[in-house]
Structure formats: structure tokens, C-alpha cells
Amino acid sequence: MLERSELADNALQALHDEDYDVPFNTQSLNHDGLIFMGGRVSESLNGEWTFCVDLLDTGLRQKWFAMLPEAPEDRTEPWDYDPYMGDTVPVPSNWAMLKEKWYFFEGSTWYTRPLDVDEIAETKRTFLRFGAAAYDCKIFLNGEFVGNHYGASTPFCVELTGKLKPGRNWIMACVNNTRTRDRVPMRNTDWFNYGGLYREVSVFQTPKSLIKDFFLYLVPDGTYSKLCAEVTIDGPLIEEAVELNIPSLGIDIAVLLDETGKARIEFAAAPDLWCPETPVLYDVTVTYGEDQVSDRVGFRQIERRGTDIVLNGEPLFLRGISVHEDDAVLGKVTSEADLHRRFDHARELGCNYLRLAHYPHHELAAQLADELGFLLWEEIPVYWAIDFENPATYRDAENQLCELIKRDRNRASVVIWSVGNENPDTDARLEFMKGLADTAKRLDPTRLTSAACLVNHAQNRIEDRLAAHIDVIGLNEYYGWYEEDFEDLAAIGENSDPDRPVVISETGADGVIGEKGPTKGLFSEDYMAEVYTKQIATLRQLAYVKGMSPWILYDFRVERRQNIFQNGYNHKGLIAADKKTKKKAFHILADYYRQIAAGQGNTRKAS
Ligand code: GCB
């Protein structure tokens, strides 16, 4: 904390300092500091936090975070904001959903709450964990800056060990959702720029030596008979090995650590394989000294062979649907009930697969998909014309990818890491996305990579130089909607001869239902249904198309859609924004998926 007079001096100096934020833009909180959470007990810091919006960044300039909590009558200097009183908001939430005057707010906001600590245990380490903060988040503890994170949809941890005091401590987060040219995503997106602490915040303790990272998978060598475990320890190496336990497979082994605290072992095991029809999961624990983590892990092999996507040895068709994290009332906040509704609707459609677009969704999504038996495409927001030439942009994108992979790589349901969406085919973009695809493979040899590519309209072909560097060509095409000439789709089909599987990562049309919708033509429910019928009739002829995830399950909020039918919404949902009312196209897709499922064998390899 600063002394009163220092704060007053600073308030004056700050009027002339436009580099006030530089010391805090450290991006020091990144995937290196992420801690494996399975089975850890944590204390929730959800609930009311004091809150204010701060358009001019006055808080960082004046150092609001350094103000002591005092009664107004005891203060001796005037103040522009008192972090300890005033409006409160619930965490998790998006401020846009809380007050009309905050709806379009973009800029810094301040969240403050106390953290009471009974006593400081010398043998423990303490961490804060943020499920997500959109976008730039600077954390302060008792007036001191403790770290900064970029990226709106991945988790991060902040170590508080040695910084807490017994009794009352104060946590402040400055969360800024300003869109900038160099960020991921950048200024222009087709989804709403929800800001805030919109996922869970918690605090947890560990022993001094802790299991920081744990990755367990079926070795993808086609034998279905070997597992591999990789563990990273953080802190003093107090024992030579970690203990890995999978009781129902009779596995209880010690895995030796190297001098850097890393361990890797391959060992024989014959698990029942995970697949959508039989999503078998195994309870696993890892113990190191006094630290223990656990997980429920499924084992399966996903690969591409020629133009096939092959799960556990059987070719597969991905009957999918795309989804955003969006809710008419809650914004980007996800609840378990909301996720169950989503999977129920996907089940009703006949899906075995979902594309979680366009950024990492809540971690519970993949946990539930593991339990319920859905395959997932997960994605980072390398969207449209991000700043491919800029090394800082690459660093941000790669960090988000690493955070996502470290968070979810024990989830059997996740079969595809997507490194981008509809990006222009330039040299800089190619280098950028090749780098990301390589990073995904380096961190995780057990999944496919993809990206949503575009058609080459000049040649009427599926053509993208990135295709050679990813396993699955995602293809976004809107014949019948943005591209009026529907016949071109069939021509593209004939002109293209991809050497790897194509998944139609998007297709669709807006359909506005109810009194506000037109009865015919663009934006009518009937026209949308017609587009689905024609798309299906054409796409089903293309042997290399191995799946689709039409755009999208629910209508969703977005700033850039403002015609009389849209009113701030993208209406390509098969279900309206109420998440109840199904449009005609829903039933057309469901019929198609039923037909495919009937002709499709079980994807499970006979054991
Ligand atoms: C796309 C984008 C998606 C948009 C969609 C649309 O190609 O990938 O983010 O929402 O089209 O509705 O235009």
C-alpha cells in the first residue's frame, strides 16, 4: 500500500503520464503458471464483489488498488473511487447483462473483495484461480500488483504464497475488454464482446511440492494396449517418483522424475475404449508427497486415414452442430443446467459431435461431453483478420492454445484442436497458423488439428495452403445465404480433390420466427429450411465430407447485426434465443442425422 501523501502526489503526476499502464502489461500469468485442478479442494470466491466501470483508466493512473480501506470521514484527501464501497456485482457475470448503461461498455472495470485468512500455514502454497476474465486482467493483492493475464476464455492461476497476511486481505482485479487490433480476437467479431469475471474464481492451497500438470492418454499406435502418463512437479523434489493409480485397471505404478521434475512413462493396459456410444471413464489418481490430484479419463484413438476420420479403428461421420457460449439473460456465463440443455438438444438433433466456437468454452462442457458421449472440436479465437504479422499477437494466441490444451487434454471427448477461423490466405497467416498447429501437436500427439478455412471463390475449389499442415480441413460455406449461387457448391464439390477429410464447420441461414420474422425470402424460417434441405442434398454426395457442424444451435447476441429482423442478434440458430423454440430447419437436420446414424456402424472397436 502507498502512504496517503504518495497517493496524492501520484494523482497529480498521473495527469501527465500516458505510460501509466506499462508496468502492469506483463502478461506474467500464462500457461506456465497453470495448475492441474482435478480433485483439488478450493474455496469459491464467487459472489458479490464491489465494482465500477472506469472508462478513462483512472484506477490504474491514480492507483486505486493502493488505497487503504477507510471510512469516508477518516479520509484526508479527496478520492474519485473507493474500491471498498459502492455498487456490487455477482461473480461470475458479464457487466453488460447487469445494467443497461453498462451494455456496450468497453474499457477497464474494477472488482474488489476481501479474502479472510485464519492463519498462514508455512508448509502450504496458496493460489488464486480465475476460470476466465475478458480480456486483460490485472490482479492486485493488498495494494500490490501480482500479475496480468491476456485472453478472454482460458483459466489462469496467481500464486499468493508469502504475500497474504493473517486476517483480512483484499483482492482487486482490473478487467478490461477493450478490443484492439493486436489481440486474439481483434476488433471485429461476429459475437458479443462480453466483458468481466464471467467464470468461477477460487482460492486453493497445495503443499510446497505440487503436481502442476498431468496428462494421461492411450498411446496412438493402433494397438490399444498402452497408456502414457506425463507429470510435472513444481517445487522442491522431495521424492524420486510420483505414484499413479488406476484401480479398475489394476494399475499402481511409481513414475520416476527427472531432475527438472518431469516424468513420462508408457505402460501396458487394456482399457475399454471410450466412444460416444459407450463413454467409459476411469478414475485415476496421482500422488506426490502430500499432494494428490485425480481425474476421470477415457481412452480412445482418433486419427485420419486418407479422407477418413477414424475413431478406435472405425471410420466416423461427425454429426455435429456449432455452439456459442451465449445466453439472452446471462450473456457468456455458463451454468451446468445450460450445458445439459445444450447436450439434450444436440442429442435430440442426433448429434455425436459439437463444435465449441469460437473460443474455449467453460471447462465443464468437455467434462460433461466425456460423461455423456459427445465428440468435441475446441477452438481459439484466431478469427478473421487478426494481426498475423505481429509477434505479440502470436504470443497471445499460442498462450491461449496452450492454456486450453493443458486444461482439457485429459478429456477423451475433445478430438480436434482448431487453430483458427476464416483467415485470409496470406504468407504471414500461414506461418502463424502453422506455428499454432505445430504447438498443438507438440503438447498433444493424440488429437487432430483443424481450422475453419474458406473456399477459393475464384477457382471454385476447396483450396487453402494451410490444409497441408492440419489434419482436418474445416470448411465454412454459406451457399444459399452469403453466396447466392447455390449451384456453385456442387461445382466446388466436383472441382475439389482434398487428400484429407473435410468437415463442413459452418453452413446455414438466418431464420427469424414469430411476429417479427418475414413469411418468405431472406430471414424467413422457410427460406432457412430450404437452405438446409439444399445443403444436405449437395453435401451428402461428397465422399470426402466426413462431418458437419452447421451454424448454429441457438440464436446469439452480436453488435454488428442491426437490420429490422436482427436487432442485435444473429438468427442462424436452429433454436431461437429462448433456447426453446425450434425452427423448421432443426427437424430437417435431425432427419438427415437420423438417416446417417442408421447407416453408420458402431464406432467402437470390438475388444
Ligand atoms: C461465419 C463466422 C461466424 C459467423 C457466421 C455468420 O462464417 O465464422 O462467426 O457468425 O459466419 O453468421 O455470418
Top-confidence residue, 2 or 165: 165
Listed in sequence order, the residues at least 6 apart from 178 whose beta carbon sits closer than 8 Å to its beta carbon are 106, 107, 108, 135, 136
Other C-beta atoms lying within 10 Å of the C-beta of residue 388: 20
CA distances, 138 to each of 14, 174, 521, 578 (Å): 18, 5, 49, 35
Q: Is 423 in the pocket of ligand 1 (CB under 6 A)?
A: no
CA nearest to 171, candidates 184, 158, 186, 153: 158
Please, what sign has the CA dihedral across residues 57, 58, 63, 65?
Answer: negative
Q: Is 422 in the pocket of ligand 1 (CB under 6 A)?
A: yes
Span from the CA of 457 to the centroid of ligand 1 (angstroms): 17
- Residue whose entry in the numeric block shows the C-alpha cell 465494482: 51
405-448 tens-digit pLDDT: 999 999 999 999 999 999 999 999 999 999 999 999 999 999 99
Atom of ligand 1 nearest to the CA of 452: 8
Top-confidence residue, 120 or 594: 594
- DSSP code of residue 480: T
- Residue whose entry in the numeric block shows the C-alpha cell 456453385: 488
109-149 tens-digit pLDDT: 999 999 999 998 899 999 999 999 999 999 999 999 999 99
Q: Is 557 in the pocket of ligand 1 (CB under 6 A)?
A: no
Please, what sign has the CA dihedral across residues 195, 199, 200, 204?
Answer: negative
Q: Is 193 in the pocket of ligand 1 (CB under 6 A)?
A: no
The helix (H) or strand (E) run that includes residue 210 is strand 210-218
Residue 92, preceding bond cis, omega within 30 degrees? Answer: yes
Span from the CA of 542 to the centroid of ligand 1 (angstroms): 23
Question: pLDDT value at position 8?
Answer: 80
Whether pLDDT at 599 is above 90: no
Q: What is the DSSP string of 118-134?
A: S---TTEEEEEEES--B
The whole-angstrom separation of Cα 407 and Cα 157 is 12
Q: Is 148 in the pocket of ligand 1 (CB under 6 A)?
A: no
Question: pLDDT value at position 604?
Answer: 37
Span from the CA of 154 to the centroid of ligand 1 (angstroms): 22
The whole-angstrom separation of Cα 39 and Cα 34 is 15
Q: Is 556 in the pocket of ligand 1 (CB under 6 A)?
A: no
Radius of gyration of the chain (CA): 25
The whole-angstrom separation of Cα 260 and Cα 232 is 8
Instruction: Output the residue whose Cα is nearest ligand 1's atom 9.
Output: 190
The whole-angstrom separation of Cα 600 and Cα 595 is 9
276-319 tens-digit pLDDT: 999 999 999 999 999 999 999 999 999 999 999 999 999 999 99
The whole-angstrom separation of Cα 76 and Cα 90 is 31
Atom of ligand 1 nearest to the CA of 556: 10
Span from the CA of 357 to the centroid of ligand 1 (angstroms): 10
Q: Is 421 in the pocket of ligand 1 (CB under 6 A)?
A: yes
The whole-angstrom separation of Cα 338 and Cα 349 is 17
CA nearest to 467, candidates 450, 489, 455: 450
Atom of ligand 1 nearest to the CA of 421: 8
- Residue whose entry in the numeric block shows the C-alpha cell 470426402: 544
| C-beta separation of 294 from 38 below 8 A | yes
The whole-angstrom separation of Cα 312 and Cα 413 is 13
> Which of 191, 476, 552, 553 is the pocket-test mutation for ligand 1 (most atoms within 8 Å of CB)?
476
Listed in sequence order, the residues at least 6 apart from 270 whose beta carbon sits closer than 8 Å to its beta carbon are 224, 225, 249, 607
Please, what sign has the CA dihedral across residues 176, 178, 182, 184?
Answer: positive
Whether pLDDT at 605 is above 70: no
Q: What is the mean pLDDT of the chain?
A: 96
Q: How large is the average pLDDT for residues 530-557?
A: 97
The whole-angstrom separation of Cα 64 and Cα 302 is 51
Span from the CA of 191 to the centroid of ligand 1 (angstroms): 9
Q: Is 476 in the pocket of ligand 1 (CB under 6 A)?
A: yes
Other C-beta atoms lying within 10 Å of the C-beta of residue 576: 21
Q: Is 570 in the pocket of ligand 1 (CB under 6 A)?
A: yes
448-492 tens-digit pLDDT: 999 999 888 888 999 999 999 999 999 999 999 998 889 999 999
Span from the CA of 238 to the centroid of ligand 1 (angstroms): 52
Instruction: Output the residue whose Cα is nearest ligand 1's atom 2.
Output: 190
Supply 146's cell numbers. Answer: 501480482
Total count of residues recorded for the chain: 607
Supply 363's cell numbers. Answer: 471447462
Q: Is 274 in the pocket of ligand 1 (CB under 6 A)?
A: no
Atom of ligand 1 nearest to the CA of 481: 13
The whole-angstrom separation of Cα 544 and Cα 266 is 35
CA nearest to 415, candidates 443, 442, 447, 438: 447
Q: Is 282 in the pocket of ligand 1 (CB under 6 A)?
A: no
Atom of ligand 1 nearest to the CA of 383: 8
Question: pLDDT value at position 601?
Answer: 38
Supply 130's cell numbers. Answer: 480465475
| C-beta separation of 565 from 520 below 8 A | no
- Residue whose entry in the numeric block shows the C-alpha cell 467434462: 367
Question: pLDDT value at position 5?
Answer: 73
Q: Calculate what percentage of the chain has a pLDDT beyond 90.
A: 93
Long-range residue pairs from 592-597, CB within 8 A, at least 24 positions apart, any chain: 592/536, 592/540, 593/319, 593/349, 593/350, 593/351, 594/350, 596/317, 596/319, 596/350, 597/319, 597/350, 597/352
Span from the CA of 355 to the centroid of ligand 1 (angstroms): 13
Instruction: Output the residue whose Cα is nearest ligand 1's atom 13.
Output: 190
Lowest mean pLDDT, pick from 121-125, 199-203, 328-332: 121-125
E strands present in 105-208 = 108-117, 124-130, 136-141, 144-150, 156-159, 167-176, 201-207
Supply 195's cell numbers. Answer: 466483458
Top-confidence residue, 193 or 3: 193
Supply 463's cell numbers. Answer: 483450396
Cβ-count burial of 263 within 10 angstroms (0-12 exposed, 13-18 middle, 19+ buried)? Answer: buried
Span from the CA of 190 to the centroid of ligand 1 (angstroms): 6
Question: pLDDT value at position 606?
Answer: 33
The helix (H) or strand (E) run that includes residue 284 is strand 282-288
352-407 tens-digit pLDDT: 999 999 999 999 999 999 999 999 999 999 999 999 999 999 999 999 999 999 99
Atom of ligand 1 nearest to the CA of 357: 9
> Which of 323, 384, 570 is the pocket-test mutation for ligand 1 (most atoms within 8 Å of CB)?
570
Torsion angle defined by CA atoms of residues 497, 501, 506 and 509, in that order, rounded to the nearest 10 degrees: 50
Atom of ligand 1 nearest to the CA of 510: 12
Listed in sequence order, the residues at least 6 apart from 47 whose beta carbon sits closer than 8 Å to its beta carbon are 90, 91, 113
CA nearest to 136, candidates 146, 147, 151: 151
| C-beta separation of 131 from 156 below 8 A | no
Q: What is the DSSP string of 153-200?
A: SS-EEEE-TTT--SEEEEEEEEEE----TTSSS-S--SS----B--S-
108-117 and 167-176 beta bridge pairing = antiparallel
Q: Is 551 in the pocket of ligand 1 (CB under 6 A)?
A: yes
Question: pLDDT value at position 596?
Answer: 95
Q: Is 190 in the pocket of ligand 1 (CB under 6 A)?
A: yes
Question: pLDDT value at position 426?
Answer: 94
Listed in sequence order, the residues at least 6 apart from 308 whose beta carbon sits closer than 8 Å to its beta carbon are 315, 316, 501, 546
Span from the CA of 439 to the centroid of ligand 1 (angstroms): 26
Whether pLDDT at 600 is above 70: no
Atom of ligand 1 nearest to the CA of 476: 7
Instruction: Output the residue whose Cα is nearest ligand 1's atom 4.
Output: 190
Supply 437's cell numbers. Answer: 498447429
Atom of ligand 1 nearest to the CA of 505: 8
489-514 tens-digit pLDDT: 999 999 999 999 999 999 999 999 98
Atom of ligand 1 nearest to the CA of 422: 8
The whole-angstrom separation of Cα 194 and Cα 179 is 11
Please, what sign has the CA dihedral across residues 177, 181, 184, 187?
Answer: positive
> Which of 506, 562, 570 is the pocket-test mutation for ligand 1 (most atoms within 8 Å of CB)?
506
Question: pLDDT value at position 1?
Answer: 65
Span from the CA of 570 to the centroid of ligand 1 (angstroms): 9
Span from the CA of 223 to the centroid of ligand 1 (angstroms): 40
CA nearest to 244, candidates 260, 229, 259: 229
